[in-house]
Amino acid sequence: MRREITSYREEIHIEKYPISIQMMEHHTELKRILKEEPYLCTGHTYIIVDQSGSMREADVDGFRSRSHAAYGTLALEFLAEQLSSRPNPQDLFAESVTVVEMREESEVILSNEPFDWILFNRLLKRPNISRPSFGGNYNKSLEKVSQMILKEHSNLLSDGVEHGDLPNFSLVFLSDGKPSDTTPAKNVKERASILTSLSVSLKDKFSLFALGVGNREAEFEQLQLMVETVTKNGSNGQLACTGVSTLKLANTFSQISNTLSCSRTTLLDSALPNAAKMPKVAKDIEKRETGKIVGKTMPSQKYTRKTHTITRYRFDKDRSKSNPWQAVDLATHGANGVEVETKFFGKGSERLAFRFHELANQKRVGKMLVAKNSVHLNENETKESFHHDFCHVQSTAYDLAEKFNTAVRNAPLLQSTFLPTNREYYTKPPELKFMLCHVYSIKNNTTGEKTDYLVERMLQGKFTKYNSNNGYVRGEKKDTAHNTRTIELKAGKVKLEEFVQAFSHWVYEHSNKHMIVCDLQGVLNQESRYPEFMLTDPAICTRKGRRFGKTDMGLNGIRRFCSTHKCGAVCKGLGLSYINKLDS
Ligand SMILES: [Zn+2]
């Protein structure tokens, strides 16, 4: 008679995830990125959790209360599920979560948080510090979330993000019963109008996942109405009534997780020119390299000035928009013809490569050259189309690389620790040089038939693809001796190749985050006095997209780059703000 005995359901124990210092640092970096570069975001999930008094009920197996069940399954099946199943550790880069608790009033408890294990721990802890109480007014919380989403949406639009590139906005609405604000009827109308305005503005970029927990299925007709409202107006809606089954609740969350990862993948995949690009990249490189085996005779075609008019053009992007082409002499003094092999020796995803020579009295003279043609078109290409885009990208990259080299030279941390008198090869930071390209225009004097060849110097050495416009970053496995070569700088021991990766990042910052140069490939020239990367065939991705030809993958190209790039000592030495820290 003198003691009160209380019994609880036996709880399943969910352990906290151990957080390292590095994870904390990464969390801070991601918070900065979500705030300062919101256009990189691929998805923002808003979660409204009912914390009205009835959520205290202890009828869900394995959990102390409905509220514990909501947060527990949210952490496990929504966060942990996505965090551990992603194929690539960077897949959830720039994904964020906002959590709102719904009582009579509504309260934002976590705002624009990175999708990581730190958030997982916070969600687990939440039901222990927040007790369900009072009624649950749907409209106040919906209104709050709707305002946040619409504000974010209008900021992105004014930042120049196009509808197709917008992140996916999702609202997970979790409630255990009838809203307290169902009567008078004007409340129901108001609810519909909040959701309608969201759907009308965001269309397919908005999804509502309504979740009914608890044992009163009949009372979920308001949730049903909400889902109908958004689907009627062009957004995605889904209702799931899980009852008091932990398993059902868990399954629903993992279904939501799947739906969200699919839409995220769709967004990032639009940066891929074709689906099976990744494995092809490696293959292309092989082909290019084997093509360089000299000695094999290939069928070729010779053109001389006796029968043909041969003009060599230089692309000058500063000359004039309408005609950037300037006729110049052939590369070798005394040359009066050219020879081009008719079978390609190398094939990239975008172009075919043929060996090309200048001729003087039918004999090959000068450096070995390479002519490039688009793989997509078989007919002759003119310097106005494909060649124009190619040269425009390459000469823009050339200028940026020059500025990058200067920035490296002026960065105190990137100076060699060797004395200036030491003339050894690996004592200076490498320079980046893009090839200069020309167009050889060959006209048959009798028939008038004309062919334009895009030509640049043949790179000598081991051809390497460092990164790509679909987020590919060269893995550690394929490291060859020269790529792992390190150099002692004031910032520490640095791999030469890091300079190439840092270039993409530097361009991003230097252009005020409007573009990147990627698809970096070429050779490390070991014939020069100091290390020098000779690069060719880059791609430029711009926020607006398609300004630099077919390989400009726009905002999604930039997103892919940022999610895969890892900053190292070179990025730090250049004072760039960290994107992803290099694991040491
Ligand atoms: Zn970086």
What is the number of other CB atoms lying within 10 angstroms of the CB of residue 366?
Answer: 16
Q: Are 226 and 237 in contact (CB under 8 A)?
A: yes
Question: Distance from the CA of 441 to the center of ligand 1, in angstroms?
Answer: 41
β-partners of residue 303 are: 338
Q: Are 40 and 471 in contact (CB under 8 A)?
A: no
Superfamily for the 43-270 domain: von Willebrand factor, type A domain (3.40.50.410)
Question: Distance from the CA of 579 to the center of ligand 1, in angstroms?
Answer: 6
β-partners of residue 300 are: 341
Question: Distance from the CA of 405 to the center of ligand 1, in angstroms?
Answer: 16
Q: What's the pLDDT score for residue 452?
A: 86
Contact partners, residue 329, CB within 8 Å, separation at least 6: 312
Question: For 231-252, what is each residue's pLDDT tens digit?
Answer: 999 999 999 888 888 888 889 9
- How far apart are alpha carbons 114 and 120 in whole angstroms? 10
Question: Distance from the CA of 393 to the center of ligand 1, in angstroms?
Answer: 22
β-partners of residue 440 are: 312, 453
Question: Distance from the CA of 46 to the center of ligand 1, in angstroms?
Answer: 30
- How far apart are alpha carbons 128 and 142 in whole angstroms? 24
Count Cα neighbours of 112 within 13 Å in the Cβ-side half-sphere.
16
Question: Distance from the CA of 581 to the center of ligand 1, in angstroms?
Answer: 8
- How far apart are alpha carbons 240 and 223 in whole angstroms? 9
Question: Distance from the CA of 414 to the center of ligand 1, in angstroms?
Answer: 14
Question: Distance from the CA of 263 to the center of ligand 1, in angstroms?
Answer: 27
Question: Distance from the CA of 205 to the center of ligand 1, in angstroms?
Answer: 30
Question: Distance from the CA of 498 to the center of ligand 1, in angstroms?
Answer: 9
Question: Distance from the CA of 578 to the center of ligand 1, in angstroms?
Answer: 6
Question: Distance from the CA of 284 to the center of ligand 1, in angstroms?
Answer: 26
Question: Distance from the CA of 531 to the center of ligand 1, in angstroms?
Answer: 21
Q: Is 575 left (phi over 0), alpha (psi -120 to 50) or beta?
A: left
Question: Distance from the CA of 582 to the center of ligand 1, in angstroms?
Answer: 9
Question: Distance from the CA of 48 to the center of ligand 1, in angstroms?
Answer: 36
Question: Distance from the CA of 584 to the center of ligand 1, in angstroms?
Answer: 14
Q: Are 426 and 441 in contact (CB under 8 A)?
A: no
Q: What's the pLDDT score for residue 107?
A: 96
- At residue 275 the predicted structure's pLDDT band, cuts being 50, 70 and 90, is very low
C-alpha 377, offset from chain centre: 28
Question: Distance from the CA of 517 to the center of ligand 1, in angstroms?
Answer: 13
Count Cα neighbours of 190 within 13 Å in the Cβ-side half-sphere.
14
Question: Residue 511: exposed, middle, or buried by beta-carbon count in 10 A (0-12, 13-18, 19+)?
Answer: middle
Question: Distance from the CA of 230 to the center of ligand 1, in angstroms?
Answer: 41
* Per-residue burial over 454-491, b = 16 or more CB atoms within 10 Å of its CB, e = otherwise: bbbbbbeebbbbbbbbbbbbbeeeeeeebbebebebeb
Q: Are 232 and 195 in contact (CB under 8 A)?
A: no
Backbone angles phi and psi of 269, in degrees to 5: -70, -20
Q: For tokens 């200076």, what's the residue? A: 428
What are the C-alpha distances in Å from 90 to residues 86, 111, 436, 518, 578? Answer: 8, 21, 35, 18, 15
Question: Distance from the CA of 103 to the center of ligand 1, in angstroms?
Answer: 44
Question: Distance from the CA of 475 to the center of ligand 1, in angstroms?
Answer: 16
Question: Distance from the CA of 505 to the center of ligand 1, in angstroms?
Answer: 5
Question: Distance from the CA of 564 to the center of ligand 1, in angstroms?
Answer: 10
Mean pLDDT across 375-398: 74
Question: Distance from the CA of 423 to the center of ligand 1, in angstroms?
Answer: 29
- How far apart are alpha carbons 510 and 396 in whole angstroms? 13
Q: Are 181 and 137 in contact (CB under 8 A)?
A: yes
Question: Residue 333: exposed, middle, or buried by beta-carbon count in 10 A (0-12, 13-18, 19+)?
Answer: exposed
Question: Distance from the CA of 88 to the center of ligand 1, in angstroms?
Answer: 18
Question: Distance from the CA of 525 to the center of ligand 1, in angstroms?
Answer: 24
Lowest mean pLDDT across 10-24, 477-491, 562-576: 477-491
**In the numeric block, which tokens belong to residue 445?**
């004097």
**In the numeric block, which tokens belong to residue 85?**
């199943």
Question: Distance from the CA of 544 to the center of ligand 1, in angstroms?
Answer: 22
- How far apart are alpha carbons 69 and 67 in whole angstroms? 5
Question: Distance from the CA of 448 to the center of ligand 1, in angstroms?
Answer: 51
Question: For 358-372, what is each residue's pLDDT tens digit?
Answer: 999 999 999 889 998
Question: Distance from the CA of 565 to the center of ligand 1, in angstroms?
Answer: 6
Question: Distance from the CA of 576 to the center of ligand 1, in angstroms?
Answer: 7
Q: Are 81 and 72 in contact (CB under 8 A)?
A: no
- How far apart are alpha carbons 149 and 202 in whole angstroms? 9
- At residue 386 the predicted structure's pLDDT band, cuts being 50, 70 and 90, is confident
Q: What's the pLDDT score for residue 276?
A: 34
- At residue 290 the predicted structure's pLDDT band, cuts being 50, 70 and 90, is very low
Question: Residue 169: exposed, middle, or buried by beta-carbon count in 10 A (0-12, 13-18, 19+)?
Answer: buried
Question: Distance from the CA of 398 to the center of ligand 1, in angstroms?
Answer: 20
What are the C-alpha distances in Å from 32 to residues 40, 114, 170, 554, 556? Answer: 12, 10, 22, 22, 19
Contact partners, residue 305, CB within 8 Å, separation at least 6: 336, 337
Q: Are 390 and 382 in contact (CB under 8 A)?
A: no
| Helix or strand holding residue 467 (H, E) | none
Question: Distance from the CA of 30 to the center of ligand 1, in angstroms?
Answer: 14
Q: Mean pLDDT of all residues in the chain?
A: 85
Question: For 125-181, what is each residue's pLDDT tens digit?
Answer: 999 999 999 888 999 999 999 999 999 999 999 988 999 899 999 999 999 877 888
Question: Distance from the CA of 507 to the center of ligand 1, in angstroms?
Answer: 10
| Helix or strand holding residue 25 (H, E) | helix 21-36
Backbone angles phi and psi of 431, in degrees to 5: -105, 155
What are the C-alpha distances in Å from 303 to residues 360, 443, 444, 544, 568? Answer: 11, 9, 9, 42, 49
Question: Residue 493: exposed, middle, or buried by beta-carbon count in 10 A (0-12, 13-18, 19+)?
Answer: exposed
Question: Distance from the CA of 502 to the center of ligand 1, in angstroms?
Answer: 5
| 3-state SS, one letter per residue, for 221-283 | HHHHHHHHHHHHCCCEEEEEEEECCHHHHHHHHHHHHHHHHHHHHHHHHCCCCCCCHHHHHHH
Strands 95-102, 43-50: pairing kind = parallel
Give percent above pLDDT 90 in the chain. Answer: 48
Lowest mean pLDDT across 203-207, 306-310, 443-447, 493-497: 493-497
Question: Distance from the CA of 433 to the center of ligand 1, in angstroms?
Answer: 19
- At residue 527 the predicted structure's pLDDT band, cuts being 50, 70 and 90, is confident
Q: What's the pLDDT score for residue 24?
A: 92
Question: Distance from the CA of 96 to the center of ligand 1, in angstroms?
Answer: 21
Question: Distance from the CA of 38 to the center of ligand 1, in angstroms?
Answer: 18
CATH code, residues 300-573:
3.20.200.10
Question: Distance from the CA of 241 to the center of ligand 1, in angstroms?
Answer: 46
- At residue 473 the predicted structure's pLDDT band, cuts being 50, 70 and 90, is low
Candidates 503, 521, 477; CA nearest to 574 is: 503
Domain positions in the chain are 43-270, 300-573
Mark out the alpha helices in 95-137 (DSSP H runs): 117-129
β-partners of residue 208 are: 171, 237
Question: Distance from the CA of 499 to the center of ligand 1, in angstroms?
Answer: 10
Question: Distance from the CA of 436 to the center of ligand 1, in angstroms?
Answer: 26
- How far apart are alpha carbons 561 and 351 in whole angstroms? 22
Question: Distance from the CA of 219 to the center of ligand 1, in angstroms?
Answer: 52
Question: Residue 286: exposed, middle, or buried by beta-carbon count in 10 A (0-12, 13-18, 19+)?
Answer: exposed
